[in-house]
A = this chain, B = another copy of it.
Amino acid sequence: MLNVAIIGYGYWGPNLARNLGHADNAELVEITDASDERLAQAEVQFPQARLSKNPLVVFNNPNIDAVVIATPAGTHFDLVKAALLHDKNVCVEKPLALAVEEGEELVTLARERKKVLMVDHTYEYHPAIRLIEQMVAGGELGRILYATSARLNLGIIRKDVNVLWNLAPHDISILLRLFAEEPSRVEASGGTFLQKGVEDVVSISLEFPSGRVAQVYVSWLSPRKTRELTIVGEKKMVVFDETLPEERVKVYDKGVDRQTEYESYGEYLTLRHGDIYCPQVPSKEPLRMAVEDFIHAVQTGESPRSDGETALKILRVLASAQASLDRRRS
């Protein structure tokens, strides 16, 4: 039985706690938060857990094997570093850190200390993305050419981070997973309309060493909720539209075929419009699977799917996009 503590019981902490509570082979033994009000809520939901206001109490408790950190992004680096130095296995909310050097330091530290470092990138555990990943790996789509991803809404507007750091980590993690390579070029442009210095809409262009390209578009200020990913392969194309009640994943047997004409000089391009197929996507909660993967990693020493290296690659892309936004602004 794994003893786990949660640090941060705000927006996402209760969801993590609930999934830890359901896990067979882990026990939620302590919850830490700076707010009395949140601790009171935690007490109602998890009466058996100890409560504390200082994370150091958790770090110094030798009975605690692992910590789950769900605090604001600006605190991640310090808390994860302290946890690792105290030999805790760590799962932290996205993003791993706000600077690449910090992320690198944490990954190195975890490797040296032989501890699990996992970042809760939800889509790494989303059943639809795993399904598409298998299609890509199995060659069903043919060679992947490009992808686009749009994540738009008129919803919660953050004050501490812009829409790039708030929403794009999802799209970036999906793209890196499906492309299995890191971009060689990242450029971003954006608009700042609601809060001074905080982008509300951002468009990111990515180019990859293989010649693939991708386009990510995120916005807090759109009339329609949109969460749409398109993957275009040489053989087939896939659209994942998360806003639909069903038919979320659609596989299009569409494309352009090249036909060589031996008698003349040239090649013909012919359009192929074939069947469309909507595989049933298993309805598992991604967070549940993330928590199980973390527990499994701690118990076996195997790397979790969403490990520090994976998170670091995502962080590098976000930082490059931010640098591009900064250049443009100046």
8 Å CB contact of A221 from B145, B223, B224 = B145
Q: Cβ of A118 < 8 Å from any Cβ of B?
A: no
8 Å CB contact of A273 from B243, B269, B280 = B280
Q: Cβ of A170 < 8 Å from any Cβ of B?
A: no
CB-based nearest B residue for A279: B275
8 Å CB contact of A187 from B189, B247, B254 = B189
Stretch at the interface among A109-117, A120-128, A211-219: A211-219
Across-interface contacts of A213 in B (CB, < 8 A): 189-191, 201
Cα–Cα, bound, A6→B225 (Å): 40
Q: Which residues of A in the span 196-253 have a Cβ within 8 Å of any Cβ on B? A: 201, 203, 205, 207, 211-213, 215, 217, 221-225, 230, 232, 237-239, 243, 245-247, 250, 252-253
Q: Which residues of A in the span 136-186 have a Cβ within 8 Å of any Cβ on B? A: 145-146, 148, 154-155, 157, 185
CB-based nearest B residue for A192: B211
Cα–Cα, bound, A253→B258 (Å): 34
Cross-chain contact A237 with B254 (CB below 8 angstroms): no
Cross-chain contact A256 with B207 (CB below 8 angstroms): no
Across-interface contacts of A250 in B (CB, < 8 A): 223
Distance in Å: Cβ of A175 to nearest Cβ of chain B: 14
Across-interface contacts of A154 in B (CB, < 8 A): 254-256, 271, 273
| 13 further interface pairs, Cβ-Cβ under 8 Å (given A223-B230, A223-B239) | A145-B221, A154-B254, A155-B271, A189-B205, A194-B256, A194-B258, A195-B269, A207-B328, A215-B217, A222-B232, A223-B250, A273-B280, A274-B280
Binding site for B on A (CB under 8 A): 145-146, 148, 154-155, 157, 185, 187, 189-195, 201, 203, 205, 207, 211-213, 215, 217, 221-225, 230, 232, 237-239, 243, 245-247, 250, 252-256, 258, 269, 271, 273-280, 328
